[in-house]
Amino acid sequence: MKRVPLLFTVLLYASMLAGMSDAAYAKAVDEEIPTLAEKISQQLAVAEGKKIKITIMDVLNLQGQQNELGRSLAELLSVEFVMAGKVAVVDRANIDRIMAENKFARTLANPDDVKKLGKIAGLDAIAIGTVNCGDTSGELILKIISIETAELLAAGRCKFDMTPDLMKQFSTSIAGDAAVATGGGNVGSATPSSQIIKKMFGNLEVVLKTVNTGSATMSDGQKLLGLSCSFELFNRDLKRTIVIAANGTMKDDSYGIKLVSYRADIRDSNGVNWWIPKGYLTGMSSVLCFECLGDPNTGHGFVAQNNPSAVADYVRNGRRSEFGNARQSAIIGAGRYWTGSFSAIPSGKSIRVRVDFLPIDGRGNRQENATQKPQSFQFDMELVIGSVMNGETPEKARDLRLENLTFERGRSNP
């Protein structure tokens, strides 16, 4: 009989410990956020010499996506900045209304949108934050950005203990303003992807927007099954322009520098390989690199593409040529060359790119087994990416590099 009260006491004590543990973790968050708000408020007061007006945007994860924890932290920060008393805080509900009316993106990565919002709401600065969480702890980084100059006015960070509830909030995404687009195309009507698939390459965000399936009519009248993907490429850098191009392939012969395809392919669930023929990439430029072996001016030179993966080095250190005949005057002697051009994505801007795949390789060989629409696919494409300041050419991009854009288990028609 005496063991029952003892067991009850032990269970009650364990329950109390669990409750105290969660409360202690939650208290840690409640302690860290006010300290961070006070610290940044003090920085702003000293730097600006006046009480500036700010608003707190949604705190995003490292991939630039919204989640429940980020939104909760943003609300808590708004309250704590008001409590600190050194800055004026515009209510988030009012900001949300203005953004909805003007169709501003939630991330406010476009500097023009930031300035428009600041003018409408009378803001001096916006607070943008990122949160990253592990199994036992999380970290919040907050930056205050000037509306007028886009300069960093103040910044700070804090770490806090994690709880199961906080982890659940962090794992719960919020549907943003970026939705899967639909529309027609050269190879059929659009089939929205099951979800937006996003990749980051430094400050370049690449989002798979749609997957189209249908048919394409070739020059000989034959109809082939086609697969089309559309992407949005967004420059999140606040100062630098991103330059980008698809890595191309050429005929390995002596008849000239001819772009025939791109270093990209799709492998689908039916075992079929797909390629991008010349002219089936729109919205983005392409480059390719090659070697001139011998001297074309003496009639003994020819060109070959022996090291396409070194395209970034060729652009930086090789000679510039043009598409056309290998014996043109643009090629002077043996050496390494590159040809083509780059697309530019200004700071805060985006471009739309469309890629049409056909079951045909760069030499015109068609895969006769491409008769059924694939259920899923793996996408691979080589991109040459760098960043430059205004007026600089791609050759001046110190970070120019080759990146492999890969989407695994992409979905097409169910």
- So where are the chain's domains? 23-171, 190-411
Residue count of the chain: 414
CB 276 within 8 A of CB 264: yes
CB-based contacts of 99, cutoff 8 Å, min separation 6: 106, 117
This prediction has a pTM of 0.52
Beta bridge partners of 300: none
353/206 Cα distance (integer angstroms): 10
356/316 Cα distance (integer angstroms): 29
CB-based contacts of 286, cutoff 8 Å, min separation 6: 245, 246, 247, 248, 259, 262, 340, 341
pLDDT at 229: 84
CATH fold of 23-171: Rossmann fold (3.40.50)
Beta bridge partners of 152: 145
Dihedral angle of Cα 245, 246, 247, 248, to the nearest 10 degrees: -120
CB-based contacts of 268, cutoff 8 Å, min separation 6: 227, 274, 374, 375, 376, 377, 378, 412
Beta bridge partners of 377: 268, 410
pLDDT at 314: 92
The CA-atom distances, in angstroms, between 364 and each of 43, 276, 281 are 64, 11, 17
Percentages helix, strand, coil for the chain, rounded to the nearest 5?
A: 25, 40, 35
CB 280 within 8 A of CB 259: no
pLDDT at 188: 40
Which pair of structure tokens corresponds to residue 323? 């598409």
State pLDDT tens for residues 293-328: 766 555 566 677 778 889 999 999 988 886 554 444
CB 398 within 8 A of CB 378: no
220/210 Cα distance (integer angstroms): 28
- For residue 218, the Cα-to-chain-centroid distance in whole angstroms is 34
Strand order in the sheet with 53-56: 88-89, 53-56, 125-133, 137-146, 152-161
pLDDT at 376: 73
Given a cut of 70, the residues of the chain with pLDDT beneath it are 1-28, 105-109, 173-196, 214-222, 251-258, 294-302, 322-333, 360-372, 374, 408-414
DSSP structure string for 196-245: EEEEEETTEEEEEEEEEEEEEE-TTS-EEEEEEEEEEEEE--SSPEEEEE
pLDDT at 294: 67
Please choose, from the candidates 390, 130, 125, 384, the residue with its C-alpha nearest in 3D space to the C-alpha of residue 239: 390
CB 308 within 8 A of CB 289: yes
CB-based contacts of 68, cutoff 8 Å, min separation 6: 168, 169, 170, 172, 174
pLDDT at 172: 73
333/336 Cα distance (integer angstroms): 10
CB-based contacts of 364, cutoff 8 Å, min separation 6: none
pLDDT at 137: 86
State pLDDT tens for residues 371-411: 667 677 788 899 999 999 988 999 989 899 999 998 765 55
Please choose, from the candidates 274, 271, 397, the residue with its C-alpha nearest in 3D space to the C-alpha of residue 342: 397
